[in-house]
Amino acid sequence: MADALRSAGGTVGAGALLTHVAPPVASPFGTASHVEGECILAIDVRGSAPPPEAVAFLDGIQRYAVEGRFGLVPVVRGYAAAAVLEREGAKLGVARAHQEEFLVVARSRLTPDQEAALEDVDLPIVECDVAERSHPILDVQLAAKEVERRREVVEAELAAAHIEEAPGSWLVVDGSLGGIGALEDGARVVGLVKSHETQFLEGADLEVALTLPEGHRTSVFARSAGARGRVFSFYLRLWPWQEHDLLHGLVRIERPPSEAAVAEATEVSRWLLAERAPLSAPDGRWDRLIYPIRQVETFLRAQAGGWW
């Protein structure tokens, strides 16, 4: 099989065994426009370089559990936490962290007695959306979305606090900048996107991006970002994808739009390449998950260890 693929110009993958159909992609496509050049190019960043001295890493986690129901209405207990770990020398230390616990429930479907009973629990109650009709799974999903939103809020608050208190420091955020809230153009904030569910490029541009050689980045493009307008972005290949799959070792970097974001794209790429060590294995996402972000996750999981 491998020979057959190679003989016709194909590439050989890892051949990982799968058993389930992947869940449908919520937003498979987005829109983008070229910023750096007229088309997407693969740019050799010429190896790694030491990261800036002042750099911090932000991540958040969420937990939720269906504590019970009033009739069909689920009562969900949610937990959201985020932390910023700052690197001093080579050591990560907690710069700021926040965690909160709350109830998520469709208040409009509760009786006054039920609502009063929940208020006695001494946890903030967060209203969640409701579907047209009651649905035991969909109602929980809607509550979970609210937990996720709370996590994004916590992350955004910590990011804002960090940017304000350490304006010269770089902040690497796990995931898209979409949820981080308002950021000044040119802010030293980097979004590190590991999942590639939404594709903003298409055609030859997409092929260049997804087949980037190791140590290369794409030219910078702007993607649509809802209310924020647009975010500058580029792909970066951390590890060679040959013998794996297209997305192996591929991350997408996001920056608030500015000329600096374009000028700094190679520099940012080079120090993100340096972040490949230490390896974040045995985490299954080790090819895209840089170690400091994993450490933020580890810290948050340890903090949430007793939560249930």
Partner 1 sequence: MIRLGGGSTIGRVVATEALPAGPHQFHFWTAIDTPIGIGAIVRVDAGNGRTVYAVVVDGRAYSDLATPLHEVVAAEGDPAGDRAPTRRTEIRLWTAAVLRHEPDEPIQPVPLAEVLLATEQDVEAALRMDGYLRGEQPTGIPVGVYRAGGLSAPVYLDADFLLGPESAHLNISGVSGLATKTSAVEFLLSSIFQRLPSHKGSVAALCFNVKGPDLCFLDQPAELTEADEELYSVMGLAPRPFEKVRYFAPYKADGVNLNTLRSNADLVGDVQPLVWGLREVLDYHEVLLNRDDIDAKADAFLDFLADRVVDKQFRDEWGNTHRVGSFAELQLLFKAIFDGLEAAGRGDSWRTHHIATIRKVRNRLLNISTRCKGLVTDDGTVSDLPFGQFEDRSVYMLDVAGMDQLGQDLVFTRVVTKLREHLERGDLGVDHVVVFVDELNKYAPADGPDTYVRKMLLDISERGRYLGLVLFAAQQFRSQVHRRVVGNAGTLVFGRMDMDELAMPSYQVLSPATKIKLATLPKGDLMVRHPHFTQPIFVRFPRPAVLQGPAGVKRFPPAVDVPFEEAVVRQLTAMDKRIPPARIRDCIAGRREDDVRRALLATARTRPDDVEGYFTASLGPGVRREAAGRDQDATTPLRSVEDPYAT
Contact characters 152-181, partner 1, x per CB under 8 A: ------------------------------
Query: What residues does 101 pair with on adjacent strands?
Result: 79
117 binds partner 1 (CB under 8 A): no
Q: Closer to partner 1 at the Cβ: 179 or 292?
A: 292
Report, in Å, the least distance between residue 278 CB and partner 1.
Answer: 5
- Count of alpha carbons within 13 Å of 272, Cβ hemisphere only? 39
213 binds partner 1 (CB under 8 A): no
3-class secondary-structure state, position 123:
coil
Q: Closer to partner 1 at the Cβ: 9 or 47?
A: 47
- Listed ranges 45-53, 58-66, 154-162, 242-250: which one lies at the site for partner 1 (CB under 8 A): 45-53
237 binds partner 1 (CB under 8 A): no
What whole-number distance in Å separates Cα of residue 112 and Cα of residue 114? 5
3-class secondary-structure state, position 147:
helix
Per-position b or e across 263-296, b if 16+ CB within 10 A of its CB: ebbbebbbbbbebbeeebeeeeebbbbbbbbbbb
Beta carbons of 180 and 84 less than 8 angstroms apart: no
249 binds partner 1 (CB under 8 A): no
Count, residues near partner 1 per rule CB under 8 A: 21
Q: Closer to partner 1 at the Cβ: 152 or 275?
A: 275
Report, in Å, the least distance between residue 271 CB and partner 1.
Answer: 8
What whole-number distance in Å separates Cα of residue 154 and Cα of residue 131? 26
Q: Closer to partner 1 at the Cβ: 298 or 303?
A: 298
* The two structure tokens encoding residue 176: 């898209």
What whole-number distance in Å separates Cα of residue 258 and Cα of residue 262? 7
Contact characters 60-99, partner 1, x per CB under 8 A: ---------------------------x-xxxx-------
Beta carbons of 88 and 205 less than 8 angstroms apart: no
CA angle 219, 225, 228 (to 5 degrees): 115
Residues 6+ apart with CB under 8 A from 43: 216, 217, 218, 219, 266
Could you say which residues in the range 268-287 bind partner 1, by CB under 8 A? Answer: 271, 274-279, 281-282
Report, in Å, the least distance between residue 298 CB and partner 1.
Answer: 7
295 binds partner 1 (CB under 8 A): yes
Identity of the amino acid at 12 = V
3-class secondary-structure state, position 75:
strand
Contact characters 3-42, partner 1, x per CB under 8 A: ----------------------------------------
Report, in Å, the least distance between residue 249 CB and partner 1.
Answer: 12
10 Å Cβ neighbour count for 144? 18
Report, in Å, the least distance between residue 204 CB and partner 1.
Answer: 31
Beta carbons of 68 and 279 less than 8 angstroms apart: no
Q: Closer to partner 1 at the Cβ: 87 or 223?
A: 87
Q: Which residues bind partner 1 (CB under 8 A)?
A: 48, 50-51, 87, 89-92, 271, 274-279, 281-282, 291-292, 295, 298
